[in-house]
Chain A
């Protein structure tokens, strides 16, 4: 079975070590703006939410790519950008409805989470367990339940 990143915002303290680890792993720099995972902040409510590609089965990015530059890694299930083939047309960046494919103006190509080939650096770096790499079946269910219960008028 494939594993997936489980993101638990309630455990996130906003330390941004995941962004540092991601940019260092993938771009060899400590620069959060180059990170494929992003912590969104809600300062007025004291909340933080790490967010990145969920490797969705619809794979909007992959189907929108005009040059077959996004492929599925059979080992991890990740949708990966092949940088040599990507022309930088950015169609995937508007096609991904989750906003998790981004254009990198330095390289002229797009970047997205590739699960670091099966050893995601963000999960390793997270000191509070807000980002874990677990069996894919387990991710998101508690969150969906919680959101559903929030959505029911009391």
Chain B
């Protein structure tokens, strides 16, 4: 069985390795279109602040990692899929044939539809190449405008601020990280950034960018204000890379539609990672989560199904994120916005930037938001995914939401002298 994996991000790499374990002698080809070893976008902010070198972003550190596993890595990109011939047509002009195909083509940054986006000095922050451009221009005193305070914008915010740049952030929603943080948490992050000397405009859009006089660029805001900038970083969202599937008959929506085996409407074609519209654990619906843990899960599951294993059914991925914004660490999980008719628990210390919000359905934890709390935070995922009935611990959590570990231990294990273990 000949396996072709298109896309060398986390989903593609995890799938290739998992397939190799399951099918020791099958040919496996991993196709990537960037001129680097497979790397992690999650690590780019740390490259930007020069904490790590480029190699530090690589998904796998051994130079012969892929060749040792007999995984053929090819640098090329896909132009189209010929399902009848079972071939991927490549942009270089060649083609690659497959028996089983995994589409892990990821996503790309989208530019807002405003005049001036093609001017020099405007960068995305998506690829290693983008990071190099930004790193070379983010100098002390440089005026930098960051468009978009979503997850991507916020993870590079620290790097831009640390470089000594004079940083302004423009976000069209009424708070920072609106797709991951509720009103309280999103505005606390804004207050935190302002305290560190970053100018933040929320409920504001950039309406046009033009050449500046004192500085290279000038951005016009919806408030009427004009902000000078030496560099503009655009982080206004990403979209799945699905254009090459036009006319292929593979069904797409926001991303590629897959079933619980990560299989598309063509039984020999699978999808994983940012490009796949996979099952969400909390809603049971299918959505593009575009997060690292989900990409790895998709990759594993897709590989098992490509190898013909039975029972590799996707239960759904818990949507979750962790973010470090100038040292303020936030995280959100599952239905952080809550469920109609559910109860919630909240603890807020505005002065110390500490916040915890828990969302319940009946006595089961279904979502959470936290700020300034990092210890044992993963247990939130555990409680959500195991649908643990909290019983009397739900009330205790409403009184003190920080006692999550205690709630977990008492709800899942026998603890103490009365546990019936010592006779």
| Chain A residues engaging chain B, CB cutoff 8 angstroms | 8-11, 38, 40-42, 45-49, 51, 60, 63-64, 66-68, 85, 87-103, 105, 108, 142-143, 146-147, 149-150
Contacts A51-B405, A146-B420 given: A91-B293 contact, CB under 8 Å? yes
Q: Which residues of B contact A108 (CB under 8 A)?
A: 51
B423 to chain A, nearest CB (A): 10
Instruction: Give 6 CB contacts A-B under 8 Å.
Output: A90-B322, A91-B322, A94-B377, A98-B382, A101-B378, A103-B329
Contacts A94-B321, A99-B376 given: A67-B421 contact, CB under 8 Å? no
CA distance A51 to B100 in the complex (A): 44
Interface size on B (CB < 8 Å)?
54
B380-423 contacts to A, CB under 8 A, are 380-382, 385-386, 404-406, 408-410, 412-417, 419-422
Q: Which residues of B contact A40 (CB under 8 A)?
A: 405-406, 409
CA distance A48 to B297 in the complex (A): 35
Q: Assess whether B277 is interfacial by the CB under 8 Å rule.
A: no
CA distance A88 to B155 in the complex (A): 12
- Assess the A97–B385 pair: CB atoms within 8 A: yes
B54-98 contacts to A, CB under 8 A, are 56-61
- Assess the A94–B378 pair: CB atoms within 8 A: yes
Q: Which residues of A contact B14 (CB under 8 A)?
A: 63
| Chain B residues engaging chain A, CB cutoff 8 angstroms | 10, 14, 40, 42-43, 46, 51-52, 56-61, 292-293, 296-297, 300, 320-322, 324, 327, 329, 331, 333, 374-382, 385-386, 404-406, 408-410, 412-417, 419-422
- B408's nearest neighbour on chain A, judged by CB, is A99
- Assess the B43–A47 pair: CB atoms within 8 A: no
- Assess the A10–B375 pair: CB atoms within 8 A: no
- Assess the B406–A68 pair: CB atoms within 8 A: no
- Assess the B300–A90 pair: CB atoms within 8 A: no
- Assess the B293–A64 pair: CB atoms within 8 A: yes
CA distance A46 to B416 in the complex (A): 8
- A108's nearest neighbour on chain B, judged by CB, is B51
- Assess the B382–A99 pair: CB atoms within 8 A: yes
CA distance A94 to B404 in the complex (A): 14
